[in-house]
C-alpha cells in the first residue's frame, strides 16, 4: 500500500536542524501492519498518522519498531501539516490515551507550531533500574546533578531523566544499542533523557531512543514536556518557561520551548518551528 508521506523537520533551529518526522493524513487508517511497515520504510524516529474524528483528528504514532503513545516532534510536524493543508489555527487531537491540541501558523518558509501535552506526573526510579541505566551510559554517582534527582517522568509517555553536572559528559554520551533497547522495552521507557542545566531556564539534552529502534533523537517534545512537569514537581525556579537545546552533539541542533503554570500535573505548552524536507 503506497502512502503519501509528508516529511518535515520539527523543532528546527531557524531553517536548519530539527528532528525529521513523517506525517500521513487520510480518511481512514491503514491496518497496523501497514503503518508499522511504512514507519520503518520512512526511517524517521516517528511517523504520525491522522484521520478525521468528530471535531478533530485521531492520531497514532509509529517508530520504526513500535507504536508509541505520544510523540512531541511528530505532533509539531502534524500541526504544521494541518496548518498548511486546512489553514492556520488550533486542532483537537485524540491520541491512544489522551486528548490534546496542536496549533500551527505560517512564518514564511517555516511554520510555528505548539502543542498542549497530556497531563504530567513523576515518580522515583528504583535503585536497580537507575543502576542499569547509569551503567548503560557509563555514568558514575559523581556525574549526577542531584539538584534534579533521577526519576521516572511522564508527559504522555514514560522517560527516565538523568541530570548531569558537566556539559562535557553530555557531549560524550555513548551506549550499547541492543542493551539499551532491552532495558527500555523491559521498563517501558520511551527514552532516557540526559540533561545539563546551563542555567535555571536553559537546558541541553540528549535522548537515547532504542525503544523505537533509533539510537538518538535530535528533538524530543514528549520528553521535554515530561521534564518541564518534573521541574515543577521538585520546585525548580523555572519562572514558567524553559528553553531546551537538543541535537547539537549529533549535528542537528534543535530548539524547544516549554511553558507551564505552577498547577501540579497540568498540561505543558511545547512549541517550536517546523520546516519542510
Cα(192)–Cα(199) distance, integer angstroms:
21
pLDDT in tens, the chain (277 residues): 568 999 999 999 999 999 999 999 999 999 999 999 999 999 999 999 999 999 999 999 999 999 999 999 999 999 999 999 999 999 999 999 999 999 999 998 999 999 999 999 999 999 999 999 999 999 999 999 999 999 999 999 999 999 999 999 999 999 999 999 999 999 999 999 999 999 999 999 999 999 999 999 999 999 999 999 999 999 999 999 999 999 999 999 999 999 999 999 999 999 999 999 9
Q: What is the pLDDT of residues 114-129, one digit of tens each?
A: 999 999 999 999 999 9
C-alpha closest to that of 190 among 160, 227, 219 = 160
Cα(135)–Cα(188) distance, integer angstroms:
18
Write the DSSP symbol of residue 133: H
Query: Which residues have a Cβ under 8 Å from the Cβ of 158 and sit 6 or more positions away?
Result: 152, 188, 189, 190
Q: What angle do CA 82, 53, 119 make, to 5 degrees?
A: 80
102-128 CB burial, b ≥16 within 10 A, e <16: bbbbeeeebbbbbbbbbbbbbeebeee
- Domain range 121-276, its CATH number among 3.10.310.10, 3.40.50.720, 3.20.20.370, 3.40.50.1000: 3.10.310.10
- In the chain, the largest separation of any two C-alpha atoms, in whole Å, equals 53
Query: Which residues have a Cβ under 8 Å from the Cβ of 38 and sit 6 or more positions away?
Result: 1, 3, 5, 22, 24, 30, 47, 62
Which spans in 43-105 are helix H?
72-86
Q: Among all chains, which residue has been given the C-alpha cell 493543508? A: 85
CATH 3.10.310.10: which residues of the chain? 6-115, 121-276
Distance (Å) of CA 75 to CA 49, 195, 202, 254: 10, 22, 23, 15
- Domain range 6-115, its CATH number among 3.40.50.2300, 3.10.310.10, 3.40.50.1980, 3.30.930.10: 3.10.310.10
Q: What's the burial of 145, exposed, middle or buried (CB within 10 Å: 0-12/13-18/19+)?
A: middle
Can you give the pLDDT at residue 126?
98
Amino acid at each position: 500500500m503506497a502512502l503519501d508521506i509528508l516529511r518535515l523537520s520539527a523543532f528546527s533551529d531557524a531553517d536548519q536542524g530539527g528532528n525529521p518526522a513523517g506525517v500521513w493524513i487520510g480518511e481512514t487508517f491503514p491496518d497496523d501492519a501497514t503503518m508499522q511497515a511504512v514507519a520503518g520504510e520512512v526511517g524517521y524516529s516517528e511517523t504520525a498518522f491522522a484521520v478525521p474524528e468528530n471535531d478533530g483528528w485521531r492520531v497514532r504514532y509509529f517508530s520504526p519498531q513500535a507504536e508509541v503513545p505520544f510523540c512531541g516532534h511528530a505532533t509539531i510536524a502534524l500541526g504544521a501539516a494541518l496548518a498548511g493543508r486546512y489553514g492556520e489555527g488550533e486542532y483537537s487531537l485524540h491520541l491512544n490515551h489522551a486528548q490534546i491540541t496542536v496549533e500551527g501558523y505560517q512564518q514564511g518558509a517555516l511554520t510555528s507550531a505548539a502543542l498542549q501535552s497530556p497531563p504530567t506526573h513523576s515518580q522515583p526510579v528504583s535503585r536497580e533500574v537507575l543502576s542499569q541505566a547509569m551503567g548503560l551510559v557509563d555514568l558514575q554517582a559523581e556525574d549526577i546533578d542531584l539538584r534534579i534527582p533521577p526519576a521516572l517522568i511522564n508527559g504522555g509517555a514514560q522517560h527516565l531523566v538523568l541530570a548531569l553536572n558537566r556539559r562535557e559528559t553530555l557531549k560524550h554520551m555513548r551506549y550499547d544499542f541492543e542493551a539499551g533497547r532491552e532495558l527500555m522495552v523491559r521498563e517501558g521507557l520511551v527514552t532516557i533523557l540526559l540533561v545539563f542545566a546551563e542555567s535555571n531556564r536553559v537546558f541541553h539534552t540528549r535522548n537515547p531512543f532504542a525503544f523505537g529502534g533509533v539510537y538518538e533523537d535530535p528533538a524530543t517534545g514528549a520528553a521535554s514536556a515530561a521534564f518541564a512537569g518534573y521541574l515543577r514537581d521538585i520546585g525548580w525556579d523555572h519562572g514558567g518557561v524553559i528553553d531546551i537545546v537538543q541535537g547539537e552533539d549529533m549535528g542537528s541542533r534543535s530548539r524547544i520551548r516549554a511553558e507551564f503554570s505552577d498547577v501540579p500535573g497540568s498540561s505543558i505548552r511545547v512549541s517550536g518551528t517546523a520546516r519542510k524536507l
